[in-house]
Structure 1
Amino acid sequence: MNPDRFGLGVVIGKFLPPHRGHRFLIETALSRCDRVIVIICGKPIDPIPPEFRARWLSEMVPSAEVMLIDDRYDENDSRVWAENTIGWLGRAPDAVFTSEDYGDRYASHLGCAHVLVDKARITIPCSGTAVRTDALAMWDFIDAPVRGWFAKRVVIVGAESTGTTTLAMDLASALRTTWVSEYGREYSEVKQARGEAIWESAEFLDIAREQNRREDLAAREANRVLICDTNSFATMLWHRRYMGHDDERLNAIADECRADLYLLTGDEIPFVQDGLRDGEHIRNDMHRWFESALEAQSVPWHLLRGGREQRVKDALAIIFARWPVIEEGLAPAPGGV
C-alpha cells in the first residue's frame, strides 16, 4: 500500500474568501486521495455569505466535493471539530490536509494522517485576511468567481446624448478592463424594429434584471475595476420618464445592483439624434433628475464636463485617487518597455 496515497481526504476551513492558496491545498489533496471532501464553515454574519463561498469553491475545484456546515463551535477545540467531522462524513477520513498548526491536533483526534501543505505560504503567498484587506492588491491570487465579488464597479450614467457610452469605452481601454454596455438601448432597438412604441413596466423589470446579470458576469473578467455604461439604478429613472411613476418591484431589483462610484456625464455637449433618442428638449430635465437621484443615494458620485479627453482624464484621476492600486497595476513591470 502506498503510504503517500489515501482514500478519503478532508480539507476544512472558512475560505473567507477562497483564493489560490486554498485551491493549491485542495488540488494537493486531490492528487493524493481517491476522494476529497471540502468542509466550509460559515455563519450568517460572515462578510461573504457561506453559500457564495461554497459555490465559488465548487467552480474553482470541481473534482472536490463541497460540504457547507454551520460554524457554531469553538474554533480552538480540535476534539469537538473532529467529533463533528466524523458525524458529518459518517466516518473518519484517512487524511486531513491543512496549512495550519491546528492540523496535527485535529488529525490526532480523528485518528488519521495530517498532511501539512505550504504552511509558510511560499508557493502561494496569500491569505484570506490579505484578500479581505485589499483584494485589488491580491488580484493575481483570486479566481474569476471571487474577482466578480471584489471588482470595483464604476457606473457611468447620464441623460441622452451626453457621452456615456463613449466614456465607458475610453475608460475600459485606459484601464485595460472590461465594460458592460447598456442593455436598455439594445432592447429599445429591437422594440423599435418591431414597430412598438408603447412601454410597459414589465419591460423595465426585464431590462434591469438583464443589466444586473450582465454586470455580474462581466465583473468576473474585470481587471480590478468594471466599467458599466448605466445600470439598473438608471433604469428606475427611465421607467419614471416613460411610465410617469416609480415601481417598487423595479426599485427592489435596482437595490441588488452594486456600484462603488457613479460618474455623471454633463449635458453641455451638442445633442446628436440617432433615431432612438427622445430629443434635446428632454435632456436637461433628465440630467437634473440624475443629479437629484444621485444626491439622494449613498454611493460617491462626480459630475464630468468638458470634451472627450478631458472627461477621461478627470475620470481616471477620480478612480486612481480612490483606488491607487488600480493605477499601480497598470504600470509596466520593472525593466519592461
Structure 2
Amino acid sequence: MTELTGYQHGLVLGKFYPPHAGHHHLVRTAKERCARLTVLVCAASVESVPLADRVRWMREVHPDVTVVGAVDDVPMDLGDPDIWDAHMAVFRSAVPERVDAVFSSEAYGAELGRRFGAASECVDPGRTAYPVSATAVRKDPVGCWEFLSPPVRAALTRRVVVVGAESTGTTTLARALAEHYRRRGGIWASTGCVPEYGREFSEEKLAELRRARPWAHWSEVTFGTDDFPLIAQRQNELEERAARLGSPVLFCDTDSFATTVWHERYLGGRNPRVEEIADRVDHQLWLLTDHTGVPFEDDGLRDGEELRPWMTDRFRAELTRTGRRFLTMSGPPATRLAAAVEAVDDLLGRGWDFAPPLPERR
C-alpha cells in the first residue's frame, strides 16, 4: 500500500474486443489509485481481432501503464472452480508479480480479486459514465462510434478508394462522396477525403525545376523508381491519420495500390517495394473512373491523354488480378455519384464481421 495512490500494483483484465470508452475509463480510474497498473488483454483464438492489435491499441491510449497480452482459450463458467483454475493459470503466467488490487466493472471482479489475493475494486458497474459495451460495439460499430478511440476507428473505418487515369474525374467523385456523407450529420459530419499525395509530390518536382529555370515545363519532370515507395508510404500515412479522425467511411482520392500502376506508367515496370507498401492497408471498395466521355483537361501536371485507355485497362486488370472488389464508374458526374453512393451504402449495410467470442457456460 502507498499513502498517495492507495495500491502499489493494480490489475485490469479484459478481452477489449474491441476496446471502448468504458474500458478506458476503467483503466484511468485504476491508474489514479495505483503506483503501477498492469492491463492484461486476453483474447481467444476464435476471435477476429488479433491480440497484438488490441494490445497495441491499449498501449497507445494508455502509455503510462503496462499492457500485456495472453491467449485464453478456456471457456468461461463462473460457477466451475476447475474452469477458474485454468483461467488463473493463464492470468498468473502473464502477470506473475504480486497484485494488490483488481479493478473491474464485471460481476466476476470479486472472485478474481480473491483468487489473486487482492482487493477488489468495482468501477461503474452500471455503465453510467459511458453507456457502451464491447458486445454493443461488435453489433453496431456505427452506433457506438463516439465511444471508440482513434486507433480503433482507424481499424474499423470502411475505406473507399477512387482510382483512374489522368483527368477522368477521380478527385471530383471522391470529394462529392465525402460531401454527400457529411451532409448526413452526426458522426457522418466528419467524413474525410484523403488527397492524392502523388500530385503534391509532382507539384514540388516541377517547382524545384522552376526555381532554377522559371520557364520549365511539366514534360521535363522525371521520376525515379525510388520516388514511388515514398509516394505510396506517404499516401498510407495521410490515410491513416484521416481514418483516426473521421466517420465510419473514408474516401481516398487514389491510394498506395494505385501507385503501383503509376510506377508502371512512368517507368515501364513494377516495383515490389511499392506493392509491399500497398498491401499494408486494408481497403474495402475501389471505384474505377472510366475515361470514356470525359474530356481531357491539361492542368499543367498532365500529359498522357493518349494513355488514358491503357491506364484504365491496367487499373481494371490489376484490380481483378489482386482480387480487389471494384466497380467501374461511367457516365456524367451525377450518374457516377448516384452509383457510387449506392455501392457505399451497400458496403456499410453489410456491417462488420466480428467473430463471436467464446460462449459463457451457464
> Shorter-chain TM-score category?
0.7 to 0.9
Aligned to 2:59: 58
Determine the C-alpha separation between the residues in 2 that align with 1:170 and 1:19. 31
The TM-score normalised by the length of structure 2 is 0.81
Q: Tell me what 1:147 maps to.
A: 153
Structure 1 contact 13–39 (Cα < 8 Å) conserved: yes
Conserved 8 A contact 1:136-1:151? no
1:187 aligns with 2:201: yes
Contact 2:168 2:296 in 1 (8 A): yes
Q: Distance between the aligned counterparts of 1:10 and 1:81, measured in 2? A: 15
Equivalent in the alignment of 1:68: 68
Structure 1 residue 122: Cα displacement:
4.5
Whether contact under 8 Å (1:97, 1:114) holds in the other structure is yes
Query: Displacement, 1:160?
Result: 0.3
How far apart in 1 are the matches of 2:96 and 2:328? 60
Normalised to the residue count of structure 1, the TM-score between the two structures is 0.86
3-state SS of paired residue (1:295): helix
For 2:279, what is the secondary structure of its paired residue? helix
Please tell me whether the aligned partners of residues 43 and 73 of structure 2 are also in contact (alpha carbons under 8 angstroms): no
The answer as to 2:111 corresponding to 1:105 is yes
Unpaired runs of at least 5, structure 1? 327-337
Query: CA offsets per residue over residues 45-76 of structure 1, 9 Å max, x none?
Result: 7533333322322332344x123133257464
Q: Distance in 2 between matches of 1:119 and 1:298?
A: 45
> Of 140, 143, 149, which aligns to 1:137?
143
What is the rounded CA distance, in whole Å, between the counterparts of 2:132 and 2:233 in structure 1? 35
Structure 1 position 234, deviation (Å): 0.7
> In the alignment, which of 261, 265, 268 is matched to residue 244 of structure 1?
268
C-alpha distance 298-83 of structure 1, shift in aligned 2 (>3 A) = closer
Superposition deviation, residue 83 in structure 1: 6.2
CA offset digits 1:123-170 (Å, max 9, x no partner): 433332333344233212211111010000000001000111111112
* Distance in 1 of aligned mates of 2:69 and 2:25: 22
Q: Which letter does structure 1 place at the counterpart of 2:25? A: F
Runs of 4+ in 1 over 3 A off after TM superposition: 4-7, 31-35, 42-46, 72-91, 118-123
Identity %: 39
Which ranges of structure 2 fall in alignment gaps of 5 or more residues?
77-82, 183-190, 210-219, 352-362
Which residue identity is paired with 2:229?
Answer: L
AA of the residue aligned to 2:203: E
Tell me the matched-pair count: 324
Q: Distance in 2 between matches of 1:168 and 1:219?
A: 15
Separation in 1, partners of 2:162, 2:153: 21
Who is 2:302 aligned against? 277
CA contact under 8 A between 2:159 and 2:250: conserved in structure 1?
yes
Closer/same/farther in 2, CA of residues 235 and 44 from structure 1, 3 Å limit = farther
Contact 2:160 2:285 in 1 (8 A): yes
Given that 1:182 and 1:230 are in contact with CA atoms closer than 8 Å, whether structure 2 keeps it comes out as yes
Query: How far apart are 1:203 and its partner, in Å?
Result: 0.8
2:287 aligns with: 263
